[in-house]
Chains A and B, each alone.
Chain A
Amino acid sequence: MKIQFTCLILLLLSTVSFSNVNNVQFQASNRMEYRLEDKTKNETFNDWLDVDYSIDYFTTGLRVEKHQPSPYSGNSADQISQRYFQFQKDGVKLRVGNFYRRLGKGIIFQSFELRNVALDRIQQSFVLDRNVDGLLLEISKPTYDAALFSGKPVWLNGDIVRGGEMQYHVFDRILVGGSYLRVNSTDFDGDFHTELRSGQMGFSLANMDIYAEYAKKQAPIDRATPGEAFYLSTNLYGSNFGISFEYKDYDQFLLPFNNPPTLVKEHFVTLLNRHTHAIYANDEVGFQFEAVYSPWESTSFTGNFAQSGNHAGDDIFKFQELYGEWKQYIGEKLATRLMADDSFDKIVGDKSRKTAAAEVDFFINERHSILLDVQLQSIEKTYGDIKYNNQLFIVAYSIAPAITAGIQFEHTTDDASKEKNWTTVNLIIKINQNHDLFVTYGGRRAGLVCSGGYCQRLPEFKGLEIRLNSRF
Chain B
Amino acid sequence: MLTLIKRCFILYVFFAMTSTTVFCQSKTDNAKAPNFFIRDINGKRVELSQLLEKGPVLVNFWALWCIPCLKELPHLNKLAERYRDQGLTVLTINQDDPSSENKVKPFMKGKRYTFQVAIDKDKELWRSFKIVALPTLFLIDQNGTISYTHTGYRPGDEKELTLEVDKLMQNRSHSMENQQ
A: residues with CB less than 8 A from B are 3-4, 6-7, 10-11, 14-15, 17-20, 25, 27-32, 34, 43, 45, 50, 52, 54, 68, 76, 91, 100-102, 105-106, 110, 112-113, 115, 117-120, 140-142, 145, 169, 172-173, 175, 202, 204, 209, 211, 233, 235-244, 246, 259-264, 266-268, 290-294, 297, 300, 302, 335, 361, 363, 366-369, 398-401, 404, 428, 430-437, 451-453, 466, 468-472
CB distance from A170 to the nearest CB of B (A): 9
Contacts of A453 in B (CB 8 A): 97-99
Using A18-B28, A292-B106 as known contacts, say yes or no to A172 and B34 having CB atoms under 8 A apart.
no
Q: B13 contacts which chain A residues (CB < 8 A)?
A: 431, 437, 468
Decide if A369 touches B155 in the complex (CB within 8 Å).
yes
A-B contact pairs, 28 of them (CB 8 A): A11-B11, A20-B31, A27-B34, A29-B132, A45-B9, A106-B97, A113-B123, A115-B132, A117-B134, A118-B65, A118-B133, A119-B68, A237-B110, A242-B105, A246-B102, A260-B98, A261-B99, A264-B99, A268-B66, A398-B154, A400-B154, A400-B160, A401-B154, A430-B152, A432-B20, A432-B24, A433-B148, A436-B133
Count contacts between A and B, CB distance < 8 Å.
276
Which residues of B lie under 8 Å from residue A172 when comparing CB positions?
Answer: 42-44
Assuming A17-B28, A29-B131, what are 4 further A-B pairs, CB within 8 angstroms?
A30-B132, A119-B68, A297-B112, A452-B99
Please tell me if the beta carbons of A368 and B156 are within 8 angstroms of each other in the complex.
Answer: yes
Give chain A's interface secondary structure class: strand
B37 interface residue per 8 A CB criterion: yes
B157-A401 in contact (CB<8A): yes
Whole-angstrom distance between the alpha carbons of A24 and B111 in the complex?
41
Whether the pair B105, A431 counts as a contact (CB closer than 8 A) is no
A235-B43 contact given A52-B128, A119-B152, CB 8 Å threshold? no
Partner of A240, one of B67, B110, B128: B110
B127 near A106: Cβ-Cβ < 8 Å = no
Given A43-B2, A266-B100, decide whether A120 and B66 contact each other with a Cβ distance below 8 A: yes
Whether A266 contacts B64 by the Cβ 8 Å rule is yes
B108 neighbours in A (Cβ, 8 Å): 242
Contact A242 B102 (CB under 8 A): no
Tally B residues with Cβ within 8 Å of A: 78
Q: In angstroms, how far is the closest chain A Cβ from the Cβ of B52?
A: 16
The answer to the question of B82 belonging to the interface, with a C-beta cut-off of 8 Å to chain A, is no
Query: By the criterion CB–CB under 8 Å, are B28 and A76 in contact?
Result: no
In the bound assembly, the distance between CA atoms of A404 and B45 in angstroms comes to 38
- State in angstroms the CA–CA spacing of A163 and B170 once bound together: 49
A110 x B98 contact (CB < 8 A): yes
B155 adjacent to A398 (CB under 8 Å): yes
Beta-carbon contact of A3 and B5 below 8 Å: yes
Q: Are B68's CB and A120's CB within 8 A?
A: yes
CB pair B97 A259 closer than 8 Å: yes
Cα of A243 to Cα of B106 in the assembled complex, Å: 6
A452: B residues at CB distance < 8 A: 96-97, 99-100
A94 CB to closest chain B CB (Å) equals: 14
Instruction: Say yes or no for B149: interface residue by CB 8 A criterion.
Output: yes
Asked whether B12 is an interface residue with its Cβ less than 8 Å from the other chain, the reply is: yes
Which residue on chain B has the smallest CB distance to residue A23? B32
**Contact partner, B153, options A10, A119, A261, A267, Cβ 8 Å:** A119
Q: Would B12 and A7 count as touching, CB distance under 8 A?
A: yes
**Is the beta-carbon distance between B1 and A68 smaller than 8 angstroms?**
yes
